[in-house]
Amino acid sequence: MEWVQTIAVVLDSAVRLSVPLLCAALAGLWSERAGIVDIGLEGKMLIAAFASAAAAFATGSAWAGLGAGILASVMLALVHGFAAITWRGNQIVSGVAINMLAAGLTVILGNAWYGQGGRTPSLEGPARFPDLTLPLGAWAREHVPVVGTLYDEVVSGHAAPVYLAFGCLLLTALVLKRTRFGLRLRAVGENPAAVDTAGISVAGLRYGAVIICGALCGLGGTYLAVSQSAGFLPHMTAGKGFIALAAVIFANWRPWPALGACLLFGLLDAVAIRLQGVILPGIGQVPVQAIQALPYLMTVILLAGFIGKSTPPKASGLPYVKER
Amino acid sequence: MSATPIDLPRWADAGLVPLVSVAAALVVAGLVVIGIGESPLEATTLLLRGALGSAEGISFTLYYTTNFIFTGLAVAVAFHAGLFNIGGEGQATIAGIFVALACLWLAPLPGILLVPLAILAAAAGGALYGFIPGWLQATRGSHVVITTIMFNFIAATLSVYLLVEVIGKPGSMQAETPEFARHAILTPMHELLAPLGLKLPATPLNSAFLLALAALVAVWALIYRSRLGYAIRTVGANPRAAAYAGISPARIIMVAMAISGALAGGLAVNEVMGVQHRLLLDFTAGYGFVGIAVALMGRGHPVGVGLAALLFGVLYQGGAELSFDKPSITRDMVVVIGGVIILFAGALDGLFRRLVAGLLRLGRPA
C-alpha cells in the first residue's frame, strides 16, 4: 500500500496549494460575473496576507488576523469599485494600479514596522491556524482500505481557512444559481441595462460583488500568511492571483469547474515540487519550470480556442452608462 | 477614456489633469511617509538632492530615465492602437535572452557589427513576443491583456530555465550568463563624453540613453507623421470606422503589438548590454509596469512620455539615495507612487477631469 500513501501525500499537498487559488478564483468569479473585470486579485491577496500576519502577530490570534486580512482586502476592492463603478474608469488600469500599490505598500510598511526586510515576525501558537483533525480519521485509515487513508490524509487535517474556503465555494454556487441576489448579479454582468430598467441598482449590485470579491481574496491571503506560512514574506503571492484568473477563464466563469481548475493547478504545483531532480524513465529529468509554466500556457491555448471555448460574461469590463 | 467626457481646453486636458493627478499621487506618498513616522519634507529634500544634486546623481537619474522611456513608449504605442500591453516585462525578458545570445554567439564579430546586431536582436525578440499576443487577439479573439499577463509568467519561467540549465555560467552560484566580451557592450557615457573634455563620474548611464532619445523622436514621427501611425490611431479610435476606411484592424493590431514589444526590448539593451554586461535573472525589475504609469501620465505623447520618464528617473534615483539615508523608506515607495499614478491618471481620470473642470470654473470671473 506504499503507492496509496504516496498518492495521498501528493493529493494532500495539492489541496493545500489550491486553497489560495480557489479563494481568489471565487473572488474573480463574483466580480466578473457582475461585469467588473478584476486583475487585482494578486494585490488584494498580498495586502490581506500582510494585514493578517501583522494583526495576528499583534493580537496573538489567528482569527483577528483573518478579520484584518479581509478588512484590508475589502478596502482595496472598494478602491477598485470606486474607480470602476462610480467613475467608470478603465478596470484593467485600476487592477494594475492595485497590484502595484499592494506590492509596494506591504514591503514599505513591513520594513518600517518590523525592520526585517519586509517580513513580519514569525507567528507561533494561537497566532496561526492549527490543523483540525476530523473525527474517525485514524479509525478509517485502519479499517477502510484506500478511501480511509485518503480521508485521513487528504480530507482531514487542514486548518480552518481550508474548510472555510470550501464552504465559500458551496455558498457561491448556491447563491449565484439559486437566489434572487445571484440571478440579478449575473444579469448585471450580462445586460446591465435590462437590470436598470427593472428598477434595480446596477451600481449597488456591482459594489456588492466587489465587496464579496474583496472578502474572498482576504480569506485567500490570510490562508497564505497565517496558515500555510508562519508570517508574511514580501511578494509571497508569487503570481497566484494570476493563476486564479486563469482558473476562472478555464472554468468558464462557473464555480464547480473553478474548483476543478484550482485543484488541477494545485496538483501540477505539488507534482512539480515532488519531481524536482527526479529522473523519469523514457523522458529524463522534467524541468520544473515547464510544469510551473503549464497553467499559463494552457490558458493561452484555451483562450486562442484550440481547446474548448471560453465565453466571458457579455458586459464584463464595460462601465455602465445610464441612457439619458 | 471616461464615459462622460467633460469638456476641457486642450492645454488643461494634456497638461493640467496629469499634473493634478501626479500631485495627488505625491500627496498620497507623503501620507505613507508620515504613516511610517518620517517627515515628508525632509524626505523630499533628500530625494531631490539625491537625484539632481550632483553630476553623479543626474547621471543615475538619466540611466533610470532610459529604461522608463523605452517601457513608457512601448505602452504608449499600443495605447494608440487601443491595446493595453501589460506584457512589457515579458517582452523585455525575451529581448534580454535574445541580446545575451547575440552577444555571446556573435562575439567573434568586431564591435561595429556586433553591437547593432545585438540591438536588433533585442528588438526582434521583444517584437516577436509582442506580436504573438497581437496575433492571437487579431485572429483568435483572445484578449491581449490576459495573454500578455500569461506571457509575462511564461517568459519569467523560461528565463529561469535557460539561466539555470542551459546558458548559465558554469560554476556560478548566481543565475547569470558569462560576462560579454569587452567590444559587445555599450559605451558608458563618461567614456563617450571624455574626448569632448566633459568629465563625468563613472555611472551606469550609457549610450542607450541616446538610443532612447532617438526612439522618442522616431515614435513621434511614426505616430503623428506617418501613414502607419495614422492607421494605428484610427484603429485605436474606432476599429469599425478604420475597417470601413480600408485599414485592416487585425493587421494594425499585430504591427502595433510588435512595435510595442520591440520598444520594450530597449529595456534589455540598456540593462543587459549597457549596465550588467551579462544576462541576470529578473533584470526587468518592474520597469515594465512602471512604463504603464509613464505612458498614462504622458498621455501617450512622446514629449509627455519623456517628461514622465524623467520624473520616474528622479523618483528612482532619489528613492535609492533616500533609502540609503533613511532605511525605513525603501525604494518600494516608487512602486507605490507608480501605482497611485496609474490609479489616478488612468482609472480615476474622470474624477480628476471633474476636479480640474471645477478649478477652472472657480478661476473664471463670473
Please give the mean pLDDT across all residues of chain A.
Answer: 90
pLDDT digits (tens, 9 = 90+) for A243-267: 999 999 989 999 999 999 999 999 9
How much is the pLDDT for A81? Answer: 96
Convert chain A into a string of H (helix), E (strand) and C (coil): CHHHHHHHHHHHHHHHHHHHHHHHHHHHHHHHHCCCCCCCHHHHHHHHHHHHHHHHHHHCCHHHHHHHHHHHHHHHHHHHHHHHHHCCCCHHHHHHHHHHHHHHHHHHHHHHHHCCCCCCCCCCHHHCCCECCCCCHHHHHHHCCCHHHHHHHHHCCCEHHHHHHHHHHHHHHHHHHHCHHHHHHHHHHHCHHHHHHCCCCHHHHHHHHHHHHHHHHHHHHHHHHHHHCCCCCCCCCCCHHHHHHHHHHHCCCCHHHHHHHHHHHHHHHHHHHHCCCCEECCCEECCHHHHHHHHHHHHHHHHCCCCCCCCCCCCCCCCCCCCC
Judged against a pLDDT cut of 60, whether residue A219 lies above it is answered with yes
Give the Cα separation of B49 and B314 in Å (integer). Answer: 10
> Cα dist. B249→A18, A177, A239, B134, B236 in Å?
40, 39, 32, 11, 9
How much is the pLDDT for B366? Answer: 47
Contact present, A266 and A14 (Cβ < 8 Å): yes
Determine whether the interchain pair B2/A100 forms a contact, defined as Cβ–Cβ distance below 8 Å: no
Q: How far is A176 from chain B (nearest CA, A)?
A: 25
CB of B140 within 8 Å of any CB in chain A? Answer: yes
Lowest mean pLDDT among A106-110, A208-212, A283-287, B92-96: A283-287
Judged against a pLDDT cut of 90, whether residue A98 lies above it is answered with yes
Bridging pattern class, strands A279-280 and A284-285: antiparallel
Element (H, E) at B214: helix B208-225
How much is the pLDDT for B363? Answer: 66
Give the Cα separation of B71 and B305 in Å (integer). Answer: 10
Q: How far is A130 from chain B (nearest CA, A)?
A: 32
How much is the pLDDT for A307? Answer: 73
How many interchain CB pairs under 8 A, A with B?
A: 162
Determine whether the interchain pair A304/B32 forms a contact, defined as Cβ–Cβ distance below 8 Å: no
> In whole angstroms, how large is the CA radius of gyration of chain B?
21
Residue of B132, B140, B142, B349 to mutate when probing chain A, most A C-beta within 10 A: B142
CB of A300 within 8 Å of any CB in chain B? Answer: yes
Determine whether the interchain pair A108/B332 forms a contact, defined as Cβ–Cβ distance below 8 Å: yes
Place of cell 521583444: B126
Three-class secondary structure of residue B188 per DSSP: strand
At residue A82 the predicted structure's pLDDT band, cuts being 50, 70 and 90, is very high
At residue A145 the predicted structure's pLDDT band, cuts being 50, 70 and 90, is confident
Report residue B188: phi and psi, to 5°.
-65, 150
> Cα dist. B117→A7, A295, B127, B186, B262 in Å?
52, 35, 15, 12, 14
Which of A156 and A226 is assigned the larger pLDDT? A226
CB of A101 within 8 Å of any CB in chain B? Answer: yes
CB of B154 within 8 Å of any CB in chain A? Answer: yes
User: Which residues make Cβ contacts (< 8 Å) with residue B5, sequence separation at least 6?
Assistant: B353
| Closest alpha carbon within chain A to B132 | A300
How much is the pLDDT for B198? Answer: 84
Rounded average pLDDT per 10-residue block, chain B, 366 residues: 61 83 90 90 93 94 97 97 95 97 93 94 98 95 91 95 88 87 91 87 94 98 96 95 94 97 97 95 92 92 96 93 87 89 88 86 64
Q: What is the pTM of this model?
A: 0.92
Chain A residues 224-243 with a CB less than 8 Å from chain B: 239, 242
Determine whether the interchain pair B346/A39 forms a contact, defined as Cβ–Cβ distance below 8 Å: no
